Chains A and B, each alone.
Chain A
Amino acid sequence: MKHSQLLRRCALALALCGITGAGLQAKTPDDQLVIGFSMNNLLTLDPASATGNDVVEIAANLYDFLIELDPQNTSKMLPGLAESWKISPDGRSITLSVRKGVKFQSGQALTAEDAAWSLQRVLKLNLALASPWKAYGFTAGNVDKAIRALDAQTLVIDLPEPTDPKMVLYTLATSVSAVVLDRKKVMENDKNGDMGAAWLTTHAAGSGPFALADWRAKDVLLMNRFDGYWRGPAKLKRVIMRHMTESQSLRLMVDRGDLDVASGMSAPDVEAMKKNADVVVKPVRRGTLYYVAVSMKNPTFADKRVRLAIRNLIDYEGINTSVMPNYGILHQRPVQMGLPASLPNPGYKFDLPAAKKLLADAGFPNGFKTTIRVLADPPFINIATSLQSTLAKAGIEASVISGTGNQVYGAMRERNFDIIVGRGGGGAEPHPHSSLRALVYNPDNRDEAKLTNFQGWRTSFFSPELNQLIEKAEVERDEQKQTATYQEAQKLYDSQVGAIQPISQMVDTVVMRKDVSNYQGHPAATTRLREVFKQR
């Protein structure tokens, strides 16, 4: 091709690019917030069955909770739809005073009857989010009596079993199951007695600052401002949530200004974003813990010396400095940090000689063969790889079996695993019981009991003394005594060498454009966008 011809064609190509708006700097609209994250776990919007953190953030903006937790200090409860609440002297009943004059997005008035009906619905449907309520003793049979509206403004919750009422209040403030639904609107969409479950999967009926405009699964979720919101209209006109799974794409879009907020970005991309002056990186601490768990159904791990050896074979420091930045911070206790009952880390370290001695005493001087099940995603897979290499130093030959959450936790629920690198432990409620119930408590260790919601049961770790301590602390009304009992439980867990060894407390890193103001990432994922605006 002649040079002149080549030049002509290049010029034509450039001109064509110009037509499509080449080189323009992208910018999101001033009054709209564009958020990018993976919606892979977002399967339903029904508050009775929606699990995972993503839906909590969405529900916190479409609906109102009776109580809210201060994002700066999660043990501080703030009024939501409930103006005030009172716990009976015996701790068995909570009375909430529901705010007057609140309207649903449909225009209906919101009453205590709606709040009672919403909670009753969760138990009656018995779907995924009924679990925390069932743990407090509520059932489909007793809920109508236990949770009831005395009048339009008074909601009473009687606790069927003795528990810490504060724990119930925390659940009211953090669980999607506790949002108040527009009963009339939902029941208009009842199908074959499903209490609107099919309809609520893809619709919403709330009183929150934003109304659901459109949700296309694995694509986009649009929320428009609800002008009749009782606190006054939100500052943003619209919130757009975009399903994005690729960290690199998220990074490029934040960089270019096409996205205002991104979460779920990989650690190297977050690190790169920190160098961008137009971007702010905010770590949000969650209550969930990364851990290494062993199955005590396996006779090898039933031996306390072997568990202790494994505890000595984890490179806590290495993992937390090289793998966990932007994912988590060093933590070695089953109770999350930051609570009055939290204890400082016991200072476990990688100690090869101690581990080798323990293994030799347990009859494994040359180690043994085992498997590590793990999610194929970072940081899980990186933790597992680190663990594999440190175990190998003591002769433990561990093959890594990676899979999806379904495969890894499915095997755990079946009690069919050796070692798992995972994440869990409740932790949404800022209460020691939330973590201990999820990770340690196991009231019945028989296979037939199938207490699959307790990770203690899944690992076959069974300690009647520890169970008793947890139960005792749960009903203790004196706060100081309760704190002391929870601390005692943690020390006992330490000495008994539990099957789950926490290594890091979860951090969720949110990357956002500098012009986004008032965005307050919530540790319980109830991030509210009603005060967010753009300073341009």
Chain B
Amino acid sequence: MSDPSPTLTLPTPRSSPRWSRLAPVGRRLFSVLLTLLGLLLLTFVIGRVMPLDPVLSIVGPDADRSTYEQVFKQLGLDKPLPVQFAYYLGDLLRGDLGNALLTGHKVTEDIARVFPATMEMATMAIIFGTCLGIPLGVYAATRRGTVADHVVRVISLFGYSTPVFWFGMMGLLVFYAWLGWAGGAGRVDLAFDGMVPPASGFLLFDSAMAGEWDVFRSAIKHVTLPACILGLHSMAYISRMTRSFMLAQLSQEYVLTARVKGLSERGVVWHHAFRNILVQLLTIVALAYGSLLEGAVLIETVFAWPGFGQYLTSSLLLGDMNAVMGCVLVVGVIFITLNLLSDALYQVFDPRTRR
């Protein structure tokens, strides 16, 4: 997981005419589009440089020359690279990301199918990570240098540096195989598979709406373990950041003043210091959520979770560039949206950025 820092928008003078107030929005929109275009171009070039042959993936290693060349042409690979890219952009403008080799479906349909699975797990993971990470971080900061602080830091370091794959295997061994508390691979017990029609794609929601409570319970049982393991990673990150934000606040003069005034420690920490790091925390949580959405690859492999991470990895290994570029586009849009969202939150909660 990267440590992204929030970006700030330029302040807008209050006295400017309406069109000039819109200028930063336009500039921002332009930069967003440019970023996405750059991202697609980069992915496209990397995809073509990589020694992967999508034709071979389709025809298999034993196909003869005429079959190979026929499929090569069908995929449009006989055209020059700029032309291929131009075609791709043209289709993209029409909302068509092409067909995936992996599934034979439209990439948009595939993403719509796999994304909710990952989102469901990532949402639970971020709830777990946030609910545990923030109190732990605050606790460690208020007891700086004590044994408790060291314990939290060690937990955080352990959670951050231990491979999620190892956690997954151990989690399955202990909670699924030995104790039988958690469900095994997949989103639901196999006997329930296909019982609830995928209306929204969020199985917990769909099964609850359909009144299929057995499926709902099974889905909860399946999602809890991978979500907690994934959330452990975010918890480590969030607690580390919370601790450092809190430490910065607790050394401020207003905290000293509040203490001198006789305010309780709890009041100082939660009503004053914590309130001031809230916006920063929102940004951190939002970006951690984004990372979870696109970074759940390993946990999805261990738990045979039919999600976005697994789809992206398989597509990459096949050289299925339509699917890879579609996924990259989605990840790019997620991060840009989260960045914009965090900027907006700053403007709402921190008056200084509005000046």
Q: B-contacting residues of A (Cβ < 8 Å)? A: 17, 20-26, 28-29, 32, 34, 36, 40, 43-44, 49, 51-52, 126-128, 130-131, 134, 198, 201-202, 213-214, 216-220, 222, 240, 242-246, 248-249, 252-253, 255-256, 258, 403-407, 409-413, 424, 426, 438, 450-453
CB of A51 within 8 A of CB of B60, answer yes
Q: Which chain B residues (222-250) contact chain A, with CB distance < 8 Å? A: 224
CB of A128 within 8 A of CB of B59, answer yes
Closest to B191 in A: A29
- Give chain A nearest CB distance to B179 CB in angstroms: 7
Interface residues on B, range: 35 or more
Closest to B220 in A: A20
CB of A28 within 8 A of CB of B179, answer no
- Judged by a CB distance under 8 angstroms, whether B311 is at the interface is yes
Please judge, given known A-B contacts A28-B190, A409-B56, whether A216 and B306 are in contact too, CB under 8 Å. Answer: yes
19 contacts between A and B (CB under 8 A): A17-B179, A40-B317, A43-B101, A49-B59, A51-B60, A51-B62, A128-B62, A131-B63, A134-B64, A217-B104, A218-B314, A220-B193, A222-B194, A245-B304, A246-B301, A249-B303, A252-B177, A406-B56, A411-B51
Instruction: Give the residues in chain A near B311, CB-CB below 8 Å.
Output: 218
- Give chain B nearest CB distance to A260 CB in angstroms: 10
Bound state CA distance, A29 and B190, in angstroms? 9
Instruction: Give the residues in chain A near B301, CB-CB below 8 Å.
Output: 245-246
Please judge, given known A-B contacts A128-B59, A130-B67, A252-B177, whether A242 and B185 are in contact too, CB under 8 Å. Answer: yes
CB of A219 within 8 A of CB of B306, answer yes
Bound state CA distance, A410 and B52, in angstroms? 8
Identify which of B52, B53, B56, B172 contacts A252 (C-beta below 8 A).
Answer: B172
**0/1 per residue, B178-207, Cβ < 8 Å to A?**
011110111001110110000000000000
Bound state CA distance, A21 and B217, in angstroms? 9
**19 further contact pairs, Cβ within 8 A, besides A450-B65, A453-B65:** A29-B191, A43-B58, A43-B318, A49-B58, A126-B67, A130-B67, A217-B104, A217-B105, A218-B314, A244-B185, A249-B172, A252-B173, A252-B176, A404-B52, A406-B317, A409-B56, A409-B61, A413-B61, A452-B63
Closest to B316 in A: A404
- Give chain A nearest CB distance to B170 CB in angstroms: 10
Closest to A44 in B: B104
CB of A424 within 8 A of CB of B58, answer no
Please judge, given known A-B contacts A43-B58, A406-B53, A424-B61, whether A242 and B68 are in contact too, CB under 8 Å. Answer: no
CB of B64 within 8 A of CB of A131, answer yes
Instruction: Give the residues in chain B near A127, CB-CB below 8 Å.
Output: 59, 67, 70-71
CB of A243 within 8 A of CB of B306, answer yes
Please judge, given known A-B contacts A126-B66, A126-B67, whether A213 and B180 are in contact too, CB under 8 Å. Answer: no
CB of A202 within 8 A of CB of B224, answer no
Closest to A52 in B: B60
Closest to B198 in A: A216
Between B62, B67, B113, B193, the greatest number of chain A beta carbons within 10 A of the residue's beta carbon is seen for B62
Bound state CA distance, A17 and B175, in angstroms? 10
Please judge, given known A-B contacts A217-B103, A218-B310, whether A410 and B51 are in contact too, CB under 8 Å. Answer: yes
Bound state CA distance, A40 and B180, in angstroms? 29
Identify which of A131, A214, A217, A243 contacts B67 (C-beta below 8 A).
Answer: A131
CB of B193 within 8 A of CB of A240, answer yes
CB of B172 within 8 A of CB of A248, answer yes
- Judged by a CB distance under 8 angstroms, whether B302 is at the interface is yes
Please judge, given known A-B contacts A23-B179, A28-B191, whether A128 and B304 are in contact too, CB under 8 Å. Answer: no
Instruction: Give the residues in chain A near B319, CB-CB below 8 Å.
Output: 406
Please judge, given known A-B contacts A216-B113, A245-B301, A406-B319, whether A32 and B62 are in contact too, CB under 8 Å. Answer: no
- Judged by a CB distance under 8 angstroms, whether B7 is at the interface is no
Please judge, given known A-B contacts A26-B180, A258-B184, whether A43 and B57 are in contact too, CB under 8 Å. Answer: yes
Please judge, given known A-B contacts A220-B193, A256-B176, A410-B53, whether A20 and B303 are in contact too, CB under 8 Å. Answer: no
CB of B193 within 8 A of CB of A198, answer no
Please judge, given known A-B contacts A218-B314, A252-B184, whether A243 and B304 are in contact too, CB under 8 Å. Answer: yes
Bound state CA distance, A163 and B311, in angstroms? 44
Instruction: Give the residues in chain B near A26, CB-CB below 8 Å.
Output: 180, 184, 189
- Judged by a CB distance under 8 angstroms, whether B111 is at the interface is no
Instruction: Give the residues in chain A near B317, CB-CB below 8 Å.
Output: 40, 404, 406
Bound state CA distance, A40 and B101, in angstroms? 12
Closest to B50 in A: A407
Closest to B222 in A: A20
CB of A452 within 8 A of CB of B68, answer yes
- Judged by a CB distance under 8 angstroms, whether B153 is at the interface is no
Identify which of A20, A24, A245 contacts B224 (C-beta below 8 A).
Answer: A20
- Judged by a CB distance under 8 angstroms, whether B331 is at the interface is no
CB of B179 within 8 A of CB of A22, answer yes
Instruction: Give the residues in chain A near B113, CB-CB below 8 Å.
Output: 216
CB of A128 within 8 A of CB of B58, answer yes
- Judged by a CB distance under 8 angstroms, whether B272 is at the interface is no
Identify which of A22, A198, A242, A406 contacts B318 (C-beta below 8 A).
Answer: A406
Identify which of A25, A242, A405, A407 contacts B304 (C-beta below 8 A).
Answer: A242
Closest to A222 in B: B194
- Judged by a CB distance under 8 angstroms, whether B23 is at the interface is no
- Judged by a CB distance under 8 angstroms, whether B36 is at the interface is no
Bound state CA distance, A248 and B304, in angstroms? 11
- Give chain B nearest CB distance to A375 CB in angstroms: 11
Instruction: Give the residues in chain A near B67, CB-CB below 8 Å.
Output: 126-128, 130-131
- Judged by a CB distance under 8 angstroms, whether B169 is at the interface is yes
Instruction: Give the residues in chain A near B61, CB-CB below 8 Å.
Output: 405, 409, 412-413, 424
- Give chain B nearest CB distance to A524 CB in angstroms: 15
- Give chain A nearest CB distance to B76 CB in angstroms: 16
Please judge, given known A-B contacts A202-B103, A218-B306, A407-B51, whether A24 and B180 are in contact too, CB under 8 Å. Answer: yes
- Give chain A nearest CB distance to B149 CB in angstroms: 16
- Give chain B nearest CB distance to A523 CB in angstroms: 18
Instruction: Give the residues in chain B near A17, CB-CB below 8 Å.
Output: 179, 181
- Judged by a CB distance under 8 angstroms, whether B258 is at the interface is no
Instruction: Give the residues in chain A near B186, CB-CB below 8 Å.
Output: 220, 242
Q: Which chain B residues (291-312) contact chain A, with CB distance < 8 Å? A: 301-304, 306, 310-311
CB of A248 within 8 A of CB of B169, answer yes
Instruction: Give the residues in chain B near A34, CB-CB below 8 Å.
Output: 190
Please judge, given known A-B contacts A127-B71, A406-B53, A406-B57, whether A453 and B64 are in contact too, CB under 8 Å. Answer: yes
Between A218, A424, A453, the greatest number of chain B beta carbons within 10 A of the residue's beta carbon is seen for A218
CB of A20 within 8 A of CB of B57, answer no
Bound state CA distance, A252 and B169, in angstroms? 10
Bound state CA distance, A51 and B283, in angstroms? 48
- Give chain B nearest CB distance to A238 CB in angstroms: 9
Bound state CA distance, A274 and B310, in angstroms? 30
- Give chain B nearest CB distance to A456 CB in angstroms: 12
Bound state CA distance, A158 and B189, in angstroms? 51
**0/1 per residue, B73-109, Cβ < 8 Å to A?**
0000000000000000000000000000111110000
Bound state CA distance, A255 and B193, in angstroms? 20
Bound state CA distance, A284 and B122, in angstroms? 40
Bound state CA distance, A126 and B113, in angstroms? 31
CB of A407 within 8 A of CB of B65, answer no
Q: Which chain B residues (12-58) contact chain A, with CB distance < 8 Å? A: 51-53, 56-58
Instruction: Give the residues in chain B near A411, CB-CB below 8 Å.
Output: 51
CB of B65 within 8 A of CB of A451, answer yes
CB of A198 within 8 A of CB of B104, answer yes
- Give chain B nearest CB distance to A113 CB in angstroms: 26
Shortest Cβ-Cβ A-B pairs, 8 listed: A51-B60, A201-B104, A219-B306, A217-B103, A409-B61, A22-B181, A453-B64, A128-B59
